[in-house]
Amino acid sequence: MNNELKSYFKLHFIVLIWGFTAILGLLIAIPAVEVVFYRTLLATAVLGILLAARRKQFAIGKYEIIKIVATGFIIAAHWILFFGAARVSTASVCLAGIATCSFWTSLIEPLMTNRKVKIYEVILGIVVMFGLYVIFRFEFQYALGITMAIISAMLASVFTVLNGKFTHRHNPYTITFYEMLGAFIGTAIFIPVYATYFSNTAFDLMPSGSDWFYLVILAGICTVYAFSASVKIQQVLSAFVVNLTVNLEPVYGIIIAFLIFGEKEEMSTGFYMGTFIILLSVLSYPLVNKLANRKALQSDTLR
């Protein structure tokens, strides 16, 4: 088996891991905010040890650290809403909302990078919104969960665009360390607000043994390992292949959720229709984008 084929199978394994995060959020008994608190704490500690062991540079400039740590605050909000969406609805509903991330990126990236808005991205975005309309129509009882997941997807697109800028200047592992540190600090700051206005229970300083087991998996495998492995894979596979495969995360996640939780994750026909419409738009985006770039290149060649 050649290196490219190995990397391709490894990428699918990583996407499968990412699709499992919503399910882990349901398996862990503590509230979503506490899940993010411990996930970021453990991830920061592990990344710090790895960076020190590999003698990677921590010092990248005060202002750069501030910007990356601030991005970690956005990541914290994204994860809190992500796990919260799964709690107030189902893992499948949460993943359907997260599938709108590509749509938000098509709107946010031009604003943050001064890139021109592409017409086909707007059209695909309209298709995504139609898919959401179908889901809302048939699953209105999960309106809060869908809304939280959509906002979470929007925040994910923001920090993804920001990371695209950071990676041109700094080591990806250093970026992730400071982002996890920022996410941990942001979550710690939010906990008193959460405990006062959104929760009837005290903060759990000692999660149960099973919760610790799932938290270690979430931090170690879903965060630290999946990130480092995906960085290495991008040295072998093209960005097109990587983006196309990552778009399968909601598909894998919904299938895993149904296999684990069974009838609890069984939704109406309308939900699956809406999800299919969203995924059709999301999965077709890389292909349409590649065709559009090829057409633009041919036009430039003819001039």
Condensed to tens digits (0 to 9), the pLDDT of residues 227-256 reads 777 766 766 775 556 656 776 777 788 888
Sign of CA pseudo-dihedral 41, 44, 47, 52? negative
pLDDT of residue 96: 81
* Rounded Cα–Cα distance for residues 223 and 257 (Å): 19
Q: What sections of 167-266 are H helices per DSSP?
A: 172-197, 209-216, 226-233, 239-246, 249-261
**Residue 236 domain boundaries:** 3-302
Rounded to an integer, what is the distance from CA 39 to the centroid of its chain?
14
DSSP state of 78: H
pTM of the model: 0.83
The dihedrals phi and psi of 26, each to the nearest 5 degrees, come to: -80, -30
Condensed to tens digits (0 to 9), the pLDDT of residues 98-157 reads 878 877 877 888 888 777 777 877 787 788 878 888 887 777 788 899 899 999 989 988
| Residue (of 75, 129, 135) closest to 103 by Cα position | 129
- Burial readout 30-57 (b: 16 or more C-beta within 10 A, e: otherwise): bbbbbbbbbbbbbbbbbbeeebeeeeee
pLDDT of residue 206: 73
Domains of the chain: total: 1
Residues in the chain with pLDDT < 50? Answer: 302
